[in-house]
Structure formats: structure tokens, C-alpha cells
Amino acid sequence: MILWLFACIPAEDIRTPPIIRGPQTDDDEEADVHEPSDSAIPGDTGLEDTSVPTPSELEICYPGPADDWSVCFPLVEYDSAWGADYAYSEPYNGSAQYAKPLRFLDLSAVDPDAALAENFVLDEFMQEWKGRYALMQPHAVETMQILRDRVGGPVTVNSGYRNVSYNAGVGGAEYSRHMYGDAIDMASSAASLSEIAGHCEDLDVGYVGWYETHIHCDWRNTPLDDALYGGARSGTATPPVDLGATLVPGLVWSAPAEGWDEGEPLREWIAYDAGGEVLTQATSRHFLPPAGTASLQVTVGREIVLNAAVD
Ligand SMILES: [Zn+2]
């Protein structure tokens, strides 16, 4: 039934009120979820208009609580009148993986509590206060549910979609994948940061960022969603990262870092004695070498390894 409704909405009316398909809706619509093929054929209605875009071009679907991809939302076309909030930069290095999104969800017209997957609702990935128009790529949601299943407990999404100005406001990188709908910052009470990162690696992640408070995973090399990006793309994304760190000695050592745009990177310290044996290890922003330390090593954000002798 809902597919039929979309098919009959003139293009100029796409921003009309939310029509959300799935178990979050009332009983009448829920019945349709289980029998979509009966009513999804335009020919059955006698009202089809071949001049309007097909439903698949105007809506985006997610796995939903039953993993049957039945939870769909209308999309709106990008409008330059949205201004600086959605003024995406030209694609990084010409990479189509950094194409400007063509279509978005209008968060003022959808149910924030709609389940996009068994354990995730829409509001966890996209919040109106970070931008009325938002997008989250279905493959990212699907992957997050798989990750959550592997963790076997709650996975908290700290950050999903950010529009351009919100991203800039929080110090995000110019080409942060959060603006492209395939980046998630996450933590879990049921898994360590290291375990989460491992799950992301197993699930074909494009880039992992290690922070004190969360793991950033994005799927920048996974093909962009057709409904959101229009399908014109090629190549893989080169990660535009420029990271740096230095080791500062003292009674308490520190390792100031640059280029981690989402907070303090995770710092993992190891102290060695004169024989090269490990005295202690710690994960902390600062480090107090124990007595007998001859040298130490810090790994910053799993990207930069620094070593120093200790007097
Ligand atoms: Zn992130």
C-alpha cells in the first residue's frame, strides 16, 4: 500500500507528511508489511502515472526490526536554499566516494523512534538538531546490526550523521565521513574499544579511529547508496588524514597529538627496563613511568608509535 502511495505522490509534494512503513505504524499498515507484493504493483490501482519518479528513486529502505528491508522513508532532493549547512566540498581528490549527496531524509517528517534495524532506531543515527536533512547509508545500518549481534550487548552510537556546518562546529575534518552517512562513533558496555575495533575490521571497515571515549568506524570504500547519491561514482576513497604526535618528557609524560578531529586519541603506554623487559603497560592520557624504567613507548590512536629513553 505504501509503495502505491509513493507512486502517486507528485514530485513537488514529496515533502508532505511522513509515511513510514513498518512495524512502528498502525495495525492496518502493518498488515501491508507482510504482503507488500499484493499492493505494490501500480497496475493494480489503475491510478499509476508513469511521469512520476519510481518509488525506488524517492525512498530509502532499511533492514527494520525483522530484517526484511520493510522500513522505508521518503527522500527529498538537495536544495541549494539550505545554504551553508549543506554546502559540501567538491569531492576529495575527485573521488566519487566523496560525491555530494543528492537526496536526504527530512527529519521533520519522519518518526525518530522508527526501528532501522532490530536494535537501532532512527534517532540514534540522525538527529534533527544536527541538521533537519540527514542521511545514513543502509549498508552502514545493516553492518551496525551485525556488529551489535557479535558484541551480544548494547552498542551506543555517539555520533552518526552530521551536516556540514554541524561537523565544522564540532571540529570535524573537512571530509569527515560523518557527513556522508557511513561513519559511526561507538562504544559499548559489553565490549572493549579494542573489541569493537576488531569487529569493524572484520566487517570491511574503511577506516578505524581510536579515541579515549569511542571507536570511529567508517565504510568509506563501500559503494555509496544509489537512492542517496544517484549512482554516479567510481574508485575508492583515499583517507584524508594528517596525523601527528610528539612525546614530551617529564615526571609525568604526555604525547600531544594533532589531527584527531573527534577528541583525544587513545594512548597506549609501555615502560621497559634496561634489559628490554616490560615493566608495565597503561592506557591513559598521561603516563608516570615506574621506578627502573629505561625506555618507554606510546602508541597514539593506533597510528603513531613513539619511543624514548628515560633518564
Ligand atoms: Zn567519527
Q: How far apart are CA 70 and CA 23, in angstroms?
A: 9
Percentage of residues of the chain with pLDDT beyond 90: 69
Ligand 1 centroid from CA 277, angstroms: 36
Ligand 1 centroid from CA 172, angstroms: 8
Ligand 1 centroid from CA 132, angstroms: 20
Ligand 1 centroid from CA 64, angstroms: 24
Supply the pLDDT for residue 240: 59
Question: Please, are residues 306 and 297 in contact by the beta-carbon 8 Å criterion?
Answer: yes
- For 100-134, write each residue's pLDDT tens digit: 999 999 999 999 999 999 999 999 999 999 889 99
Nearest CA to 247 out of 289, 194, 197, 281 is that of 289
Of the candidate ranges 8-17, 186-195, 208-217, 237-246, the one whose mean pLDDT is the lowest: 8-17
Ligand 1 centroid from CA 290, angstroms: 34
Q: Angle 138-151/193-202 helices, nearest 10 degrees? A: 130
- For 50-75, write each residue's pLDDT tens digit: 445 455 568 999 999 999 999 999 99
Supply the pLDDT for residue 94: 80
Supply the pLDDT for residue 311: 83
Position 91 confidence tier, pLDDT thresholds 50, 70, 90 = confident
Ligand 1 centroid from CA 178, angstroms: 6
Q: What is the pTM of this model?
A: 0.78
Nearest CA to 19 out of 51, 7, 120 is that of 7
Domain 53-229: give its CATH code: 3.30.1380.10
Name 69's Cβ contacts closer than 8 Å, sequence gap at least 6.
61, 62, 63, 138
